[in-house]
Structures are given as C-alpha cells and as structure tokens.
Structure 1
C-alpha cells in the first residue's frame, strides 16, 4: 500500500509535468509514459494486495514476494521518471551504454515481477472462497493478468528495419517497439498514445493486466444486481455468468493481440476483425441468454480457487 501511495504521488507529478513541461518524446508528451505507468500500477498494486488478503492462512514468503513486487514496480517508475528528466526514452533505448543498461535492468525487473506474480497466483488459486462467483472471477483475473504481463515481451524483439540494420552491423539506437507495421511516434490516441496508423502491442498488454480488476468487478456488479433481478440470486447463475465473462475477456484479449500483430490500428479494424468481434458479441448474447433461462442449480459448496 505504500507503493500505491507513491504511485498516487507519481500520478500527480506526471499530470503536473503534462501541464508545465511541453517537451515531446516520440511524438507524445514526455510525461505521458510515467503517467500511464503510474495509473496502471495505481490499479494493479491495491488489487493484488486485496487478493493476497484473501488467503486463509497468511504465508511469510508471500509477504516477502509482495514486498519485492512493490519495490520493483516502484523502481521501474523511478527509472522512467529519471529518463524523462534526462529527455531520453526509457524503453528500447540502446543509444548509449547507460540507456541500454537502464532498459536491460527494467526488463530484468519486470521479468522477476512476472514470475513472482505467477507464483503468488498459484497459491491464491489453491485457497477457497465462500463466494463462488468471486472465486471464479479471481481465478480468471489471475490467469489473464499473468498472460497480459507476459505479452509485454512481444515488444522487445527488433522490428524488421532494426533487424536489417543489425544484420548490416549498423548502429541501432532503439531495439524493440510498441507499434507493428509503422514506426513508433506516429499519430496516436489521446493520453494512451496507441497508434492510429498501425498495430500497437500496448493494447493487449493493458487489457490483459487489468483483467484482475475487470472480472472481480463483474462479480461484484452481478451480486449487486441480484437484489433487483431474482434470477441472479442463485450463486450458480452468477458463477456461470462470470465464467462466460472470463471467456469473453479472453476472446477480446486474443482479438486485440491478433489485430496488433497484423499491424492494424485499433481505430481502423478490417472486415476480418469486425467479423471476429461480431461473432464474439453474438456468442456472448446467446450464451448469456441460455444461462439466464436455465433452471437454477442448488446452492453449491464453496469451490477451491484451484
């Protein structure tokens, strides 16, 4: 929670930077990156703290690994801010040994965070929760969130132009990119900076990570709606809807990943993308209707998270 407080401070500082510092980096306001990281971690860190609080038996090693995650993610933002102050890119930058060393350090730290996140997730999946729909929401959020973190590694490989330069033994200042099919730094969406002209791997990375908030929120909304919709009073119905929501979220994650890897902007989907999205929406509606029409199951025993 201390790291969460620091992310709140970093968010305010980044907002101030956007107002008072007019520098651009890669075609975007230079303070946009620390703002996005700070806001994302402002959601991730307290969510993970809440998930760990659900353990039936507190474990000493999970406390230490949670502390390591908090320290490493905070240090990641500190290094991003340091590069902003220097006027340099924090990611993919190998223009100098110092810049390259910082990026390699950040890559190593996020790898450790990913591994620790998955290790803690396995422990959480083995615990039981009395709330059946929330149990399934947490299960899906942990799995999809871990996938979302891992998708960041798709950005670290050299682009075709960078690879060609490396094969020619030419100097390459940037190795890796957010965008696919177009250079980084082109026209982007406000605030997020997601490419408007090509694919952008930050989109599936973002969507995947925040499954840990979206799916438990779905479970909470269904529980809240149960007072007005008697059909939702059955925990089995809500659990099946959460499972459906998890499948839909996974489908959306796969869709935006496929779209980005094809070099297609999120703002300009082609016919195949729209067809896939339409099929996902249609299947969601049909399955949700079937779930709501089914005869309620007897209240089941609490299920294990794993």
Structure 2
C-alpha cells in the first residue's frame, strides 16, 4: 500500500505543474481550436441542409481520419515535451521512494494526462455540436448524406460507408477514443524513453514518429512515387499494418472483408509497443544520472 501511495504522489506532483502553466494551457487551447475547426464543417453542413446530428458524430467524422489524429498528437508534444519532470520537488520525492516507484508514477501520469486530453477533445466535440443533436444510438440523416453521396468528399469529411453499415455511433466512438488513446500513449512513451536516453531528443522523436505516420499514408506515397492506381489496394494493406497512424485510424481496419488489421490487433500493437518502451525506460532509469541545480539565498 505504501508503494501504491508513493506512486500516486509521484503522478500527482506532475499534475500540480499544470496550474497556470502556459505550455499546458496552450496544448488544451490548440486542441479545442483544432476540434472546432475540424468539426465545424460537419455542424455547418447539418445546419445548411436542415438535418440533425447524433451527438457523437462530429467527433467520429473528425477524428476517424488520420490527418486529424496527427494534428491532435502534435498537441500532446506540448504536454510531454519535458517528461520526465525534474522539478524542485523531485529530490524530495526520491529521498522518500525508490527510482522504480517514481518512474511508475511518471508512466501513470502520462496515461492519465493522455486520457484527460482525449476526453477533453471528445467533450469539446459534443459541446460544439450544439442543439441540433440527439442521443439515440443511430446514425443521423447527415451521416447518411455524407456517407452515400459525394458531398462528404467535396467538403473533406471522411464519412465512410463501411463505418455506417457495420457499426453504431457509441461503439464507433469507443473504438476511436481507444485508438487515439493507444496512439497517444505509444508516442508519449517514446518521448519519455528518448528524453531519458539522449536528453532532449524526446521532442525530435515525437515529431519523427508523427512524420513517419504521415509519410506512410497510401495517398501520399501514390502521389510521391507516382504508383499506378491499381496498386492502391495493396498499398493500403501494407501501410495499414506498418504505420502507427493507420493503426489509430478507425476505418483502416478489417470489418470482415479485407486484409487490414483488426481492431484487437491495433490495440495489441499500441499496448505492446508502449510496454516495451516503458520497460526500456525503467532499465534506463536505474543508471540515469540526475543533475539538480539548487538555489542559494543572497
């Protein structure tokens, strides 16, 4: 029980830094702005066509897309750029607990902070959807129009037919939330390990991780490499398996009739990758040389 209490104290110490921290405020502020800009297209479309929306649909159509997930993940770089936190309270904590417990507290903080951030994005989407929404677990007329016509493509809203036909809003939202959470924890665990290994390389690693996912998008490679159109399906399957960003994209999964990874495979991919990086961070922590600069009174 003492170890568990110490673990939570180490995690809470990180959350105390959030108070009046411009870096944290900027991360949440940018997250809200991105959510507004991306979901506003869905909301305006519903208003212009006088159709209703299921409350979760702005979140589903916005963050079921790889580009949107990539933008949100960049906000997480602001949250975890300086992880592990080596503030003034750390020497005090390390006197009262071992390094492993303190490190587990950092990991718990990252998971909880990511959960709060993704939850904030989901709540923001629900609030922004306004009064044109309902709570029933049924797709709206807006979703049907976007999915079964070319209007969604014209205004860059990724409403996919197979999502409409093989899922329902609440289940779909749960999976999108889980995939975003898995992707974000995976990225933050990479930032943590690189910061422990090479000082301030975590931010560079986070940007490179995001860029790799973007470069592995089939549409980008087809334009860049000038591949023929008939290879789109093969490229989708290959990059759907190797790209973390595609693993985080809901519609890039096997719903029963293609060779893309199933949802449980993506959850296992993120969990396995995060656990490996956390284990490497724990090993690095055992030999990590802390360097604290004290203050002297005049």
Same fold (TM over 0.5): no
* TM-score of the two chains, using structure 1 as the length reference: 0.31
Larger helix proportion of the pair: 2
Of structures 1 and 2, the one scoring higher in RCO (CA 8 A, sep 6+) is 2
